[in-house]
């Protein structure tokens, strides 16, 4: 093992002579740490998003203990620290408003403390990108460890997936096909173990991105939270991060352009969430990799979906793990030359080496590339006068008969306007209309909430119709589905063309041609543009900082001054 003592950044705290060294060590000793812990062991921060308000990460204190076990075994000194935790189900107005705030907490906590390496404990949707983004801006040796998905929900003898099952049942209640007593029964049956959503929603997608990027150990994506092997993975992560410090293997050596290309193609192959687009664009900008929205279409849209998981398919993450998990998918991509097999991963091996021996145990869950679950299923990027900087759609979750569609716009000025009107029996709407929702982009709501998959009007649902074209500047839950155009950029609140759409305008969507067009004369649009007024800026606080500085969705919706990294250097303390 290399002697890393002289280059450990923690030694500038703990190895300092005189007054400073005394202060740095003595107060730490009140926790019972002996002197030798401060004498050149790699100090590993365990960045913990545990919170009882983030139920998906509720088991993270236990998970951290297993990471510590590994760190101690490898001769390191583990120190766990909390950062802002973002729970998807409780935070208002939307957890996405706080992703960048949490990333600032992570970045400054890592840089300001005597850490040589860090393990990121991530689970619920925004906890993964916020930790990766914050750590990337420091760029010390880092491993991501996801908390793992919940076990499968089960209601009336049928599997019940997080989110996906709920959206369907909610429509059934509104259509009068399900009683409210049954709805409560399903509520009790869906979330039945520790862990995050067990559909291929945003949390599972981002856990898969961690593995595909190579910033987590193999197996990270799918091992259920309560499976003993999740704890084994945590222990191995603890062992490995100490070695990474000895090797000085930084995050930027893993998060290369090749790694991002692997992740984009993997997202298509798993039928992953559209949210990954925004998060990976932001992460790439932090670490300094050139990546743009068009890359998602160019690299991923032709890639087939191999994984038959909700919301695109029928199985759940537990089934995915038992079938062989993400390594099987990566191996299929590698065999089709759709994976940069030489991309380095945190275990020191290439991603190709990691997946070479992967085996599939259930081809109904993970299809072969020759017989994919859905062909050409990646994210499609649409452009046109309604979204000059782009909008996205996830064809694998949509209805092919709507992919080329021209319809009359039914417009909602904001989400309150939507909820006030959608159940109105007098709303002038039918299944051929296009539902348009404005002012739900990064600046608009603010925070870009997951409301893009607008529920359908009851009068349409009662006809047995289950999908309509919907367009907005919002995001969509990774567990949701439908022919839903999202992330329209620039957003309405930034004066984008979406702001100009009015009831009765005709809109043409053509997914194959990648176009999204508002059929209104330019002269009329110019008049509407002149009459448009921006909404007032928030008066104070973080929300003001956010609205004043947030970038558009096609840029990753990061704050403009957070793009890039500052490294691990920090001024000496002043005492
Ligand atoms: Fe936390 Fe879905 S609500 S992962």
Q: Tell me: the pLDDT tens digits for 360-375? A: 999 999 999 999 999 8
Ligand 1: atom nearest CA of 89 is 3
Q: Is 386 in the pocket of ligand 1 (CB under 6 A)?
A: no
Q: Is 124 in the pocket of ligand 1 (CB under 6 A)?
A: yes
Q: Within 13 Å and on the Cβ side, how many CA atoms surround 283? A: 31
Protein residue with its CA nearest to atom 3 in ligand 1: 88
Q: Which two tokens stand for residue 354?
A: 């990691």
SS3 content of the chain, % helix, strand, coil (to 5): 40, 15, 45
Q: Is 197 in the pocket of ligand 1 (CB under 6 A)?
A: yes
Place of tokens 């559209």: 274
Query: How many angstroms separate the alpha carbon of residue 201 from the centre of ligand 1?
Result: 8
Q: How far apart are CA 23 and CA 19, in angstroms?
A: 6
pLDDT 10s digits, 212-224: 999 999 999 999 9
Residue 3 has pLDDT above 70, yes or no: no
Residue 470 has pLDDT above 60, yes or no: yes
Q: Which two tokens stand for residue 260?
A: 């991002």
At 481, the pLDDT band (50, 70, 90 cuts) reads: confident
Residue 121 has pLDDT above 70, yes or no: yes
Pocket test for ligand 1, best of 99, 162, 311 (most atoms within 8 A of CB): 162
Query: How many angstroms separate the alpha carbon of residue 150 from the centre of ligand 1?
Result: 10
Q: What is the DSSP letter of 14?
A: H
| pLDDT the model gives residue 106 | 98
At 164, the pLDDT band (50, 70, 90 cuts) reads: confident
| pLDDT the model gives residue 171 | 82
pTM exceeds cut of 0.75: yes
Number of H helices, E strands in the chain: 20, 14
Q: Among 50, 47, 111, 103, which Cα is nearest to 79's?
A: 47
Is the bond leading into 311 cis (omega within 30 degrees of zero)?
Answer: yes
Query: How many angstroms separate the alpha carbon of residue 285 from the centre of ligand 1?
Result: 25
What is the rounded average pLDDT of the residues 319-328? 98
Q: Is 89 in the pocket of ligand 1 (CB under 6 A)?
A: yes
Q: Is 198 in the pocket of ligand 1 (CB under 6 A)?
A: no
Query: How many angstroms separate the alpha carbon of residue 436 from the centre of ligand 1?
Result: 26
| pLDDT the model gives residue 230 | 98
Query: How many angstroms separate the alpha carbon of residue 94 from the centre of ligand 1?
Result: 13
Query: How many angstroms separate the alpha carbon of residue 163 from the centre of ligand 1?
Result: 9
Query: How many angstroms separate the alpha carbon of residue 290 from the centre of ligand 1?
Result: 29
Q: Is 380 in the pocket of ligand 1 (CB under 6 A)?
A: no
Pocket test for ligand 1, best of 50, 51, 56, 208 (most atoms within 8 A of CB): 56
At 5, the pLDDT band (50, 70, 90 cuts) reads: low
At 62, the pLDDT band (50, 70, 90 cuts) reads: very high
Q: Is 97 in the pocket of ligand 1 (CB under 6 A)?
A: no
Q: Is 56 in the pocket of ligand 1 (CB under 6 A)?
A: yes
Residue 1 has pLDDT above 60, yes or no: no
Ligand 1: atom nearest CA of 57 is 1
Residue 2 has pLDDT above 60, yes or no: no
Place of tokens 């490898």: 74
Q: Is 161 in the pocket of ligand 1 (CB under 6 A)?
A: no
Protein residue with its CA nearest to atom 1 in ligand 1: 124
Q: How far apart are CA 96 and CA 459, in angstroms?
A: 32
Q: Is 196 in the pocket of ligand 1 (CB under 6 A)?
A: yes
| pLDDT the model gives residue 148 | 98
Q: Is 450 in the pocket of ligand 1 (CB under 6 A)?
A: no
At 4, the pLDDT band (50, 70, 90 cuts) reads: low
Query: How many angstroms separate the alpha carbon of residue 530 from the centre of ligand 1?
Result: 42
Query: How many angstroms separate the alpha carbon of residue 489 from the centre of ligand 1?
Result: 26
Query: How many angstroms separate the alpha carbon of residue 88 from the centre of ligand 1?
Result: 5
Residue 231 has pLDDT above 70, yes or no: yes
Q: How far apart are CA 407 and CA 434, in angstroms?
A: 6
Q: Is 234 in the pocket of ligand 1 (CB under 6 A)?
A: no
Query: How many angstroms separate the alpha carbon of residue 570 from the centre of ligand 1?
Result: 35
Ligand 1: atom nearest CA of 203 is 4
- Rounded to 5 degrees, φ, ψ at 169 are -65, -35
* Residue 356 neighbours by CB under 8 Å, 6+ apart: 331
Q: Which two tokens stand for residue 473?
A: 């500047």
Ligand 1: atom nearest CA of 479 is 2
Query: How many angstroms separate the alpha carbon of residue 205 from the centre of ligand 1?
Result: 11
Q: How far apart are CA 557 and CA 126, in angstroms?
A: 13
Residue 7 has pLDDT above 90, yes or no: no
Q: How far apart are CA 473 and CA 189, in angstroms?
A: 33
At 181, the pLDDT band (50, 70, 90 cuts) reads: very high
- 420: how many CB neighbours lie within 10 A of its CB? 11
Place of tokens 């606080």: 541
Pocket test for ligand 1, best of 51, 85, 86, 88 (most atoms within 8 A of CB): 88
| pLDDT the model gives residue 57 | 98
| pLDDT the model gives residue 572 | 79
Mean pLDDT score of the chain, rounded to an integer?
95
Residue 466 has pLDDT above 80, yes or no: yes
Query: How many angstroms separate the alpha carbon of residue 123 from the centre of ligand 1?
Result: 8
Q: Is 203 in the pocket of ligand 1 (CB under 6 A)?
A: yes
* Residue 163 neighbours by CB under 8 Å, 6+ apart: 197, 199, 201, 311, 477, 478, 479, 480
């Amino acid at each position: 093992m290399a002697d890393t003592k002289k280059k450990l950044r923690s030694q500038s705290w703990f190895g300092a002579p005189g007054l400073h060294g005394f202060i740095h060590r003595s107060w730490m000793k009140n926790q019972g740490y002996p002197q030798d812990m401060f004498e050149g062991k790699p100090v590993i921060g365990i960045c913990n998003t545990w919170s009882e308000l983030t139920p998906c990460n509720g088991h993270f204190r236990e998970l951290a203990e297993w990471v510590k076990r590994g760190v101690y075994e490898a001769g390191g000194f583990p120190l766990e620290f909390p950062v802002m935790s973002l729970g998807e189900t409780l935070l208002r107005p939307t957890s996405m408003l706080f992703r960048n705030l949490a990333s600032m907490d992570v970045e400054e906590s890592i840089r300001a403390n005597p850490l040589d390496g860090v393990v990121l404990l991530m689970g619920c949707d925004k906890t993964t990108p916020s930790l990766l983004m914050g750590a990337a801006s420091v760029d010390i040796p880092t491993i991501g460890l996801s908390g793992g998905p919940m076990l499968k929900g089960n209601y009336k003898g049928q599997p019940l997936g997080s989110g996906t099952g709920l959206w369907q049942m909610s429509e059934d209640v509104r259509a009068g096909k399900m009683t409210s007593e049954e709805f409560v029964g399903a509520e009790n049956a869906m979330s039945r173990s520790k862990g995050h959503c067990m559909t291929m929603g945003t949390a599972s997608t981002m856990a898969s991105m961690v593995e595909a990027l190579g910033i987590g150990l193999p197996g990270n994506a799918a091992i259920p939270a309560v499976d003993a092997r999740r704890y084994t993975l945590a222990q191995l992560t603890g062992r490995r991060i100490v070695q990474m410090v000895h090797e000085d293997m930084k995050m930027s050596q893993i998060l290369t352009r090749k790694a991002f290309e692997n992740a984009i193609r993997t997202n298509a192959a798993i039928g992953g969430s559209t949210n990954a687009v925004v998060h990976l664009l932001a992460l790439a900008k932090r670490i300094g990799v050139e990546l743009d929205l068009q890359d998602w279409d160019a690299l991923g849209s032709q890639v087939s979906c191999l994984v038959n998981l909700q919301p695109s398919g029928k199985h759940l993450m537990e089934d995915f793990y038992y079938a062989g998990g993400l390594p099987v998918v990566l191996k299929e991509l590698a065999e089709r030359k759709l994976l940069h097999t030489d991309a380095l991963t945190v275990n020191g091996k290439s991603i190709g080496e990691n997946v070479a021996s992967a085996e599939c145990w259930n081809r109904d869950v993970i299809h072969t590339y020759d017989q994919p679950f859905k062909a050409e299923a990646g994210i499609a990027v649409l452009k046109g006068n309604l979204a000059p900087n782009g909008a996205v759609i996830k064809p694998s979750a949509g209805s092919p008969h709507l992919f080329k569609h021209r319809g009359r716009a039914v417009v909602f000025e904001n989400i309150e306007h939507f909820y006030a009107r959608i159940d109105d029996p007098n709303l002038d709407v039918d299944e051929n209309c296009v539902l348009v929702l404005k002012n739900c982009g990064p600046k608009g709501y603010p925070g870009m909430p997951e409301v893009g998959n607008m529920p359908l009007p009851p009068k349409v649902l009662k006809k047995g119709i289950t999908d309509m074209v919907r367009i907005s500047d919002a995001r969509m839950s990774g567990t949701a589905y439908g022919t839903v155009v999202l992330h329209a950029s620039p957003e309405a609140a930034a004066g984008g063309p979406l702001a100009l759409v009015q009831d009765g305008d005709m809109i043409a969507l053509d997914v194959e041609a990648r176009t999204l067009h508002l059929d209104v004369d330019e002269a009329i649009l110019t008049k509407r543009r002149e009459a448009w007024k921006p909404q007032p800026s928030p008066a104070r606080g973080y929300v003001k900082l956010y609205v004043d500085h947030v970038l558009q969705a096609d840029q990753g919706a990061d704050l403009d001054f957070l793009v890039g990294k500052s490294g691990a250097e920090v001024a000496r303390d002043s005492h």
